[in-house]
Structure 1
């Protein structure tokens, strides 16, 4: 089945498109009463968050999912987790900043990006793919990652933000 989703490697020039996707995701989450995951303010209005997105994109490989040439989703694959999660004791790839633009929600964009991340990890000769996510909101995001083939490992908390690390062997 052709989903119409094309995935391409991104670069620094894609950071504005990535930020627009994150801003859209914040609105989508907030419309569903989920304010604790990514807050209520757009990423673009938070200079430290913009700097973090730029830094993560430069440390790793951003991927952009497009539908009809329009950026529909993004993730960045890095060789290590964020500073709040201990690195694995083996080579790994880590999914950072996975998001789908609200206009394309429900079209399989996130699943396509995660499948691409798994194949890229395998192509690079690495067998461990990890991700962390918001564990609040009845664990809906954790369950989403489990449906994508990930298994829960450790949980963590940053301030009052509950998180869950998951992994997949590729």
Structure 2
């Protein structure tokens, strides 16, 4: 697996990853996170992925040249309380269901931590869907994140999590 910077040409592959994830979640009866409609047919979601692809914050994991996952870093989402210190914020993370179980998500999260450490930033935060059985929150906890603030956007329950890094000083 390699992880590289994303670009505009990755937008269709990333939309396909989200479409696959939505279909997989829907097949499990878990439509609370992203609904049941593909991202690729929702203009606002297409615009968001396209914006991520041109933001400089997109990272794409590949297996044998095939996109397997995507992570996006950038400013914290507007519904999340601001951090009291510099942070690296994970705006999005998706793994193509065909690559589940291969450590793609873990590798992308480790890449975010490495980027933060390289910038001298000790705080990495992410928010995620906190409904249903809480499996997504538990996933981030299994990756070394700890819960901070809970929030709601309408009826959508969310959870902010953080990972603190040791940062070398002067």
Q: Is this a same-fold pair by TM over 0.5?
A: yes
Paired with 1:94 and 1:76, the residues of 2 have a C-alpha distance of 8
Q: Partner residue of 2:34?
A: 38
1:68 equivalent in alignment to 2:60: no
Q: Which runs of 5+ in 1 are unaligned?
A: none
Secondary structure in 2 aligned to 1:138? coil
- For residue 96 of structure 1, what is the aligned residue in structure 2? 91
- Check the 8 A contact 1:21/1:100 in 2, yes or no: yes
Counterparts in 2 of 1:1-150, with a 5 A limit?
5-78=1-74, 80-150=75-145
Is the CA contact 1:65–1:72 (under 8 Å) kept in the aligned structure 2? yes
User: C-alpha distance in 1, partners of 2:4/2:55?
Assistant: 17
How big is each residue's C-alpha offset from its partner over 1:91-147, in whole Å with a ceiling of 9 and x where there is no partner? 111112201101111111111110111111111221110000000121110010001
SS of the equivalent of 1:85 reads coil
TM-score by length of 2: 0.93
Q: Tell whether the 8 Å contact from 1:11 to 1:61 is kept in structure 2 after alignment.
A: no
TM-score, normalised via structure 1 length: 0.93
| Match runs of 1:145-156 below 5 Å | 145-156=140-151
Name the CA distance, whole Å, in 1 between partners of 2:81 and 2:11: 26
What is the deviation of 1:19? 0.8
The number of equivalent residue pairs is: 165
Superposition RMSD in Å: 1.1
Q: CA deviation at 1:54?
A: 2.2
- 1:81 deviates by 1.1
CA contact (8 A) 1:130 1:168 kept: yes
Pairwise CA distance, 1:60: 4.6
